[in-house]
Amino acid sequence: MITSRDNKWLKLFRAALRGTGPRDGEPIGVEGPKLVEEALRSGLEADALLVSEGAERSAERILRAASESDAGIPQSRILHTTGKLFKSVAGTDAPQGVAALFRQRPWGFDDILRGPGANGSNDANRKLAGARPPLVIVLAELQDPGNVGTILRSAEAFGATGAVASRGTADPWSPKALRASSGSALRLPLLRGMAIPVILAQLRIAKVKIYAASSAPAADANASGGSLASQADLRDAAAIFIGNEGGGVPDEVKRAADAMISIPMAEPVESLNAGVAASLVLYEAARQRK
Amino acid sequence: MITSRDNKWLKLFRAALRGTGPRDGEPIGVEGPKLVEEALRSGLEADALLVSEGAERSAERILRAASESDAGIPQSRILHTTGKLFKSVAGTDAPQGVAALFRQRPWGFDDILRGPGANGSNDANRKLAGARPPLVIVLAELQDPGNVGTILRSAEAFGATGAVASRGTADPWSPKALRASSGSALRLPLLRGMAIPVILAQLRIAKVKIYAASSAPAADANASGGSLASQADLRDAAAIFIGNEGGGVPDEVKRAADAMISIPMAEPVESLNAGVAASLVLYEAARQRK
């Protein structure tokens, strides 16, 4: 039972649950029973589990999930603390008394192209891995962690093989993005902090077609203005770049893109929410691939 | 030049810019030069404009927009204050020095069905009004103002005729929802705070088909599981209910609905972001109506 504010574990939890995302090698902080359970079920390795007084029942479900997973939680790393101290490390206003620190998965560029499952514990996923052409979503300087999480959630729902968060994009493993992703950010193969020229070069080498998604059709001379389906054949290997909330896709991406995809819409709306725009293109890709 | 914290206009602005949305008859607080300009261009009547020292250039653009609009701003209601006092009433961390109070538009249920423009200043919209079958989006107990705003933005982009925010839904005219809507909440015909049984009855009387959108397909026995297009013909008069982030569409809506619409997606994702789910169905409606 941890009762001191200065406990080193509490410090680690506080940094992880209140930060803007872990650096390389640092643990990912996950808060709330549902998200912790999903992380365990997806095969992530837990460094530590923190349970507040009164949350023991949620913890039981989680320990069961841990015992059923490949990874598990060492008994000595199941830590208990008071409600007050838990609140002092939590990142939410109404904490639910369960949090965990997880090890980062060492995803590589191949995983992004092949999809989840090759190293995971889910049999259905393992069968899928490698069986479908790459569908990569690239977040190009997206600033809102809520949008980042929303896009990763849609990406997993619509069968993306992986995601890349460019340098300058809000961290998909930050507490806010994790929550918005409903756990998808912990399952989908994901690379963070890559420079855009490097992303473009890697995709070219892998022979993946590059699409720049725009939600402001009129401004782009290349835009066909027609339906999404008529603009892009997304059945083959494809990477979809989504740009920043204010400025859209960076110019270097527009220049390098094989095609622009613009979402047809009515005046006087100038653009859609970035999470919505990305989700529409991913939905269209899933529809075409069926 | 207002220099006292106790000035009655500053109090009004503070309440409007920091609240959770105006009551009937109270002004709508709008912050930031872009959003204020859009509100003016859409024909909303301004009660007052507040400009901070250093933001005079943005204010010029806005006054030009006001003089070109039907409504305008009376000279005596253009108020100036210091940067410090502006910050003390603003609802954002980095305020841009321009805010306004607008009168609520008295939308009726007919407007929701007929679409914007009948009373507006935009000629293109005026022509559209009444020319297309109703497409109404109903927000059923949505809690996140960001989602509410995102949905209204997509609704306008995809040609919805109007929106209804049920009792218990975050206020579409709250500062956060307004920002997320990029101004669409000020243009789209909109009713707030209606009880769900009343919404259902009004739609029935108007012979509008009722659809309940679900992003959790497997759980719903009625769900066909096929493509969106195969599940619903949205070319005729249609109202789409979107449910709460946690619980989905209320049971009373499911029971009353002519059909459920569920978005096909991959395991292990259980649901999509509510803003994304609503936007996908609206996009599908726009696609079918083209």
For chain A, give the percent of residues with pLDDT over 90.
Answer: 73
**Residue B205 amino acid letter:** I
Mean pLDDT value across residues B35-52: 92
The Cα A110–Cα A131 span in angstroms is 13
Across the interface, which of A122, A265, A283 has its CB nearest the CB of B280? A283
Å between A287 CA and nearest CA of chain B: 8
Give yes or no for a contact between A39 and A102, defined as CB atoms under 8 angstroms apart.
Answer: yes
Cβ separation A283–B263 shorter than 8 A: yes
ipTM of the complex: 0.90
The pTM assigned to this predicted structure is 0.92
Digit-coded pLDDT (tens) for B165-217: 999 999 999 999 999 999 999 999 999 999 999 999 999 999 999 999 976 65
* Mutation for testing the A interface, residue in B40, B279, B281, B282 having most A CBs under 10 Å: B279
Structural domains in chain B, CATH included, are 8-102 (3.30.1330.30), 109-289 (3.40.1280.10)
Quick one: pLDDT at residue B221? 39
Residue A268 preceded by cis peptide, ω within 30: yes
Quick one: pLDDT at residue B223? 46
Q: A284: buried, middle or exposed (CB in 10 Å: 19+, 13-18, 0-12)? A: buried
Give yes or no for a contact between A101 and A173, defined as CB atoms under 8 angstroms apart.
Answer: no
Cβ separation B157–A266 shorter than 8 A: yes
Distances (CA, A) of B118 to A275, B205, B206, B220: 32, 22, 19, 39
How many CB atoms neighbour CB A11 within 10 A? Answer: 12
Is residue A114's pLDDT more than 90? yes
Å between A15 CA and nearest CA of chain B: 23
| Residue B146 with chain A: CB contacts under 8 Å | 146
**Residue A156 amino acid letter:** E
Is residue A66's pLDDT more than 90? no
| Strand segments (E) across chain B | 28-31, 46-52, 78-81, 98-102, 135-140, 162-166, 190-194, 209-214, 238-243, 259-262
Cβ separation B265–A272 shorter than 8 A: no
Å between B38 CA and nearest CA of chain A: 10
Residue A145 preceded by cis peptide, ω within 30: no
| Residue A286 with chain B: CB contacts under 8 Å | 264-266
Digit-coded pLDDT (tens) for A199-235: 999 999 999 999 999 766 544 434 445 788 778 899 9
